[in-house]
Amino acid sequence: MDASPYSDLPAPDRPGTAPGRPTEADSAARAIRESGLFDAVWYAARHPEAADDPLAHYLAHQDRPGHDPNPLFDTAWYRVQAPDAGESALLHFVARGAAAKLAPHPAFDTVWYLACNADVAGAGANPLQHYLAEGGREGRNVHPLFDTAFYLRQRPDVAEAGLNPLLHYLADGAREGVDPHPLFDSAWYLARHPEVAATGENPLVHYLRIGAQAGYDPHPLFDTAWYRAAFPEAGENALLDYLGREPEAGAEPHPLFDSPWYLEQVPDVAEAGVNPAIHYLTDGARAGLSPHPLFDPAHYLRQVPEAADARANPLLHYLKDRGGTDPHPLFDAAWYLGHNPDARGANPLLHYRTRGAALDPHPLFDAAFYRARNPDLVETGRSPLAHFVEGGAAEGRDPHPLFDSSWYLERNPDVAGSGQNPLVHFLGDGGREGRDPHPLFDVGWYRARAPDLGDANPLVHYLTHGIRAGRDPNPLFDAAWYRARHPELGPDADPLVDYVERGVHIGSEPHPLFDGGWYLRTYPELIDGHETPLHHYLHLGVAEGRDPSPDFSTRWYLDRHPDVARAGLNPLAHFAVAGRAEGRSPLPLEALHARRVAAERVALAGEIQDLHRHIGLMVLQPTFVVLIDGDDAEATRGTRASLARQIYDRAIACETRGAARDALRDRADAYLLWLRGGDELPPRALYDLACDINRAPAADLIYGDEEVAGPRGALPFFKPGWSPDYLESFDYVGRAACFRGAAVDGLLAAARSAFELTLHLDEAGAPVRHLRRILLRGPDRRFGQDEGERALIGERLARTGRTGAKVEVAAGARRYAVAPGPRDETVSTIALLPLGRAGEEARAVEAFLGRIAAIREASSHGALDPIAVLDRADDPAETALRAAGCRPVVAPEGGPARRLNAGARAASGEFLLFLDPNLEPVERHWIERMVIQFEKPAVGVVGARLIGLDGQFRHAGIVAHAGRPEPVREGNGGAEGYFFSAAAARNFLAVSGECLMTRAEAFRVAGGLDAELGAGLWDVDYCLGRRAAGLRIVYEPGAVLADTAPRRAPRTGPGEAARFAERWGARIAHDPYYNEAVLRLGPPDYDGWPQA
């Protein structure tokens, strides 16, 4: 009769009567038959040669490998436990082994079976006999790793057929991929160990026999090495040890299964005594429960919809996928692998859990920062990220210097009310909705200035791309400005984080317009609860009308500019982004200066003793001879009184030039100040001069800034560095000047004023220094008439060979210009002519020639050599240009500088004039006024005054403001600018290339323009190069040209900006012609005059 190889054995045979005397073999056979543990059908199926008498064959071969009596008696396995079993291991088990609770098979745990089945143990029955005869059909569990109910749920047909489930598994189930236990994955085990599959051995049997001791993992969610590291006493089989522990013990079978975390979600599981990992595998995963704080099933399945569609266990799917997908919103797998090359090829989350707890799992989670801010974390033994996810976020702990959890929840009560993790919310909806993660990171601001942002989270984009690109995180944090003051920061260092964590504590400022030190001193009681002064100002200070620096009045700005107030904008941010460029005033300059003077007065009171000690230590202790002109006795007494108040008191007052001359001759260390009665020196003026003399004893002239009386108070005149061309237009040095006695000894007798001494020293090439300190308080010298000044300038023209030039005097002002006569030098004008799209060439040429004709018509200079630089060859266009007297040059490649170089090479004139043809002359003699500047020695470049379509000038020279080139524009100071800065010829770092004249020879010596720079920088680069070669850059206000069409400001690419900064960044950090330290709040034309 045929029987299934995994059918149950019949009950033991009853003893029968055999004829004759039984032999020893007969007795053994009878005992085996009576035990019910010999499955003749199963044995015969395995040994066909034994079909005639399976039991006899077994008795003859029972000690040989592979000759087991039934599927659940493994002779070799048993003999390891009972080496003294004798000739028949089976009979030994029947007689003594079962009672000794020895296991007949790796998958049959006698102790377990008896412990789980008290009725069997109480009856004294042989457990294996019972299981084979009855227990299997009854669904009793025979081993901790064979869960009969679990098995039958996978194969209900086994129960329906009345088959023994363990025998079915051993015979067929494993091959069919059926698992014996939730934590034993047969197919996975065989795939991991192909050598086992090759032998045909049952995977569970192999694991129990060899694999567990060898450290093989039985399931993707049981990591033997991980478990043994936590429980070194676990014994040979780590999985059995784990299953034997109580759920409340918190044992974790795998780095990605956190038992306490899981049980917190389902407390009834622990109460029921159910193993949490088993519950997760059988029920929890389908219910969407999270197996670990760092694995978010919903987040994972949103990224892997095919896993959701297949109703796969998300954690097992993730482990099988080798971790290529983010397991949690706060774990960025790609970012982690990119920053940790040793993790490549491994599952990144497993790497983090086992080796990377000190590493950063996400751009917005800084593990070192979190540990430093939360020292209690060390005691818990948790990884920083797990701690944050489990409770840190809800407690308001911050994961990163730029994510303020408490602040985010306070600003977003809907998030706080929902119980969501604030960082997870920000990375999901919050960033898209424009919610700010930190008081100093403005999402809307950053998004508007990051065109490459796309769908990326703004703060993540800033950290991964924006920092290196130099993007600003908010309108009041200037990253480039901060970096310039902290050169120790590398290209990948975050300047904002540096400011928050370090800079604010050492007095660093976030923006040139925000004075954090002043803010702290002014409002000390308001800062305690805020990390930085800027925090407070942005989120409380503005609403309370606090000022961000002594140079900016919050209330005044809002009152003066009601459109800003109506829009609810931060006034300082508005000024920094738009108001400054629009010429809006942050504060009347008189008020600004009054604040500074008051602050300096307070500081001086505390420094006075130190200053006196310093005077005693000076190497040079000069004597100042102070000549006081004037007939007003009371005014003279005021000047003398100011001398008496000097901290540095080595001064001699004289009222005649003769007395002054004698005093100078008597002292080798003497210096001259030539004042007028009524002039006053601030208390530290002579001290500041003495300090500068010690710094530069060879200087023949030191001049300083001055303060002039105005209708709204004292107006400071912050002067440019040495500007000989400005000096010819306006005596900007004035009487705030200190002359070395030996340098003016031969001039003083005939000199009529300090101005004359200054002019002579300039012509002699004397060393001159500008001291950026207020040295004089006197009258406003800009207005009225002074024939003596006019005469001195005329004499200077004669001495310097400009005999044909005349001095022009501005109406009602002491401002002068040189009137040019007719000139015959050839000037080559070079202009770009883009021909447009195909078919538009004729129209482009016609418009260009119309502009050239208008320029010629409006200009008095006849010797012009117009050159048009075309962006491609076009015979009709070139013919039309030649016919109009304009030479065409074809330069199809490169940017504007390369093409202008081509035009310059073709030029024949003594002078090159790079010109935007969309400009129209306003003054006929504009070219002559530019050319005449070159009659002076060491002039390299001359630029013009450019007027916008609104009638205001948009260029009157270029200065370096906050390290960047910026044109001087018309603002509150009107058309004349700040102390004639826009109305008088003067020196600048650079002038605009829209109208730039240079000598052709100087251009050739320079090697032309840098062809790698675009329209926004080539002109500044050329000017700075000429200045580095010892030539001056002159702005000529009499050369006036106006826009005829709207103008678009050129864009500067990052490569160009980097090239320019590398060449000139250090040299223009401090512009000698623009006192950024005191005028930094306004555009370069700023003088604080009230707006109408």
- 89-99 residue pLDDT tens: 999 999 999 99
Among 438, 456, 488, the domain-final residue is 438
Q: Are residues 737 and 850 in the same domain?
A: no
Q: Are residues 641 and 768 in the same domain?
A: yes
* Per-residue model confidence (pLDDT) at position 595: 79
Burial of 14 (C-beta count, 10 Å sphere; 0-12/13-18/19+) = exposed
* Per-residue model confidence (pLDDT) at position 820: 85
- 653-677 residue pLDDT tens: 999 999 999 999 989 899 999 999 9
- 558-610 residue pLDDT tens: 988 888 999 999 999 999 888 877 767 787 777 878 878 888 888 888 899 99
* Per-residue model confidence (pLDDT) at position 971: 60
pLDDT bin (cut points 50, 70, 90) of residue 102 is: very high
pLDDT exceeding 70 applies to what percent of the chain?
Answer: 95
**Domain count across the chain:** 3
Is 218 inside a domain boundary? no
Burial of 863 (C-beta count, 10 Å sphere; 0-12/13-18/19+) = middle
Q: Are residues 763 and 671 in the same domain?
A: yes
Dihedral sign (CA 406, 407, 409, 413):
positive
> Average of pLDDT values for 751-759?
96
Residue 734 has pLDDT above 50, yes or no: yes
> Average of pLDDT values for 750-768?
96
Is 465 inside a domain boundary? no
Is 625 inside a domain boundary? yes
Among 438, 466, 492, the domain-final residue is 438
Residue 976 has pLDDT above 90, yes or no: no
Dihedral sign (CA 42, 47, 53, 56):
negative
Q: Are residues 730 and 843 in the same domain?
A: no
* Per-residue model confidence (pLDDT) at position 18: 47
- 891-922 residue pLDDT tens: 988 899 999 999 999 999 999 999 999 999 99
* Per-residue model confidence (pLDDT) at position 1090: 33
> Average of pLDDT values for 254-272?
92
Residue 549 has pLDDT above 60, yes or no: yes
Q: Are residues 632 and 715 in the same domain?
A: yes
User: CA-to-CA distance for 748 and 659, rounded, in angstroms?
Assistant: 11
What is the DSSP code (8-state) at residue 8? P
Is 670 inside a domain boundary? yes
Alpha helix locations (H) across 72-162?
75-81, 89-92, 110-116, 118-123, 127-130, 136-138, 148-154, 156-160
- 24-47 residue pLDDT tens: 778 888 989 988 899 999 999 999
Domain holding 423, by residue range, is 374-438
Is 736 inside a domain boundary? yes
What 3-state DSSP class applies to 394?
coil
pLDDT bin (cut points 50, 70, 90) of residue 524 is: confident
Residue 17 has pLDDT above 50, yes or no: no
Is 970 inside a domain boundary? yes
Residue 1085 has pLDDT above 50, yes or no: no
> Looking at per-residue confidence, does 1082 or 407 come out higher?
407
Q: Are residues 770 and 831 in the same domain?
A: no
Among 438, 459, 478, the domain-final residue is 438
CA 829 vs. chain centroid, Å, equals 45
Is 950 inside a domain boundary? yes
Residue 1077 has pLDDT above 80, yes or no: no
Q: Helix %, strand %, coil % for the chain, to 5?
A: 45, 15, 40
The CA R_g of the chain, rounded to the nearest whole Å, is 47
> Average of pLDDT values for 681-708?
97
Q: Are residues 697 and 843 in the same domain?
A: no
> Average of pLDDT values for 210-224?
96
> Which residue has 């949690």 as its token pair?
328
What 3-state DSSP class applies to 672?
strand
Average pLDDT over the chain, rounded to an integer: 90
> Average of pLDDT values for 1062-1085?
73
Dihedral sign (CA 747, 749, 751, 753):
positive
Q: Are residues 984 and 886 in the same domain?
A: yes
What 3-state DSSP class applies to 180?
coil
Among 311-320, 366-375, 380-389, 522-531, which is the least confidently predicted range? 522-531
Residue 281 has pLDDT above 80, yes or no: yes
Residue 3 has pLDDT above 50, yes or no: no
Among 127-131, 420-424, 798-802, which is the least confidently predicted range? 798-802
Q: Are residues 771 and 837 in the same domain?
A: no
pLDDT bin (cut points 50, 70, 90) of residue 126 is: very high
Structure tokens of 173? 């189930």
- 436-478 residue pLDDT tens: 999 999 999 999 988 888 899 999 999 999 999 999 999 999 9
Strand-pairing partners, residue 250, are none
pLDDT bin (cut points 50, 70, 90) of residue 361 is: very high
pLDDT bin (cut points 50, 70, 90) of residue 318 is: very high
Is 227 inside a domain boundary? no
How is 788-838 classified by DSSP, letter by letter?
HHHHHHHHHHHHTT-TT-EEEE-TTBS-EEEEP------EEEEEEE---ST
* Per-residue model confidence (pLDDT) at position 1: 34
CATH number at residue 635: 3.90.550.10
pLDDT bin (cut points 50, 70, 90) of residue 528 is: low
> Average of pLDDT values for 326-347?
92
- CB environment 886-922: b (16+ within 10 A), e (fewer): bbbbebeeebbbbbbbbbbeebebbbbbbbbbbbbbe
Residue 614 has pLDDT above 80, yes or no: yes
> Average of pLDDT values for 958-965?
84
Q: Are residues 890 and 981 in the same domain?
A: yes
User: CA-to-CA distance for 712 and 710, rounded, in angstroms?
Assistant: 5
pLDDT bin (cut points 50, 70, 90) of residue 199 is: very high
Q: Are residues 769 and 899 in the same domain?
A: no
Residue 1081 has pLDDT above 50, yes or no: no
* Per-residue model confidence (pLDDT) at position 382: 79
Q: Are residues 1054 and 912 in the same domain?
A: yes
User: CA-to-CA distance for 944 and 968, rounded, in angstroms?
Assistant: 12
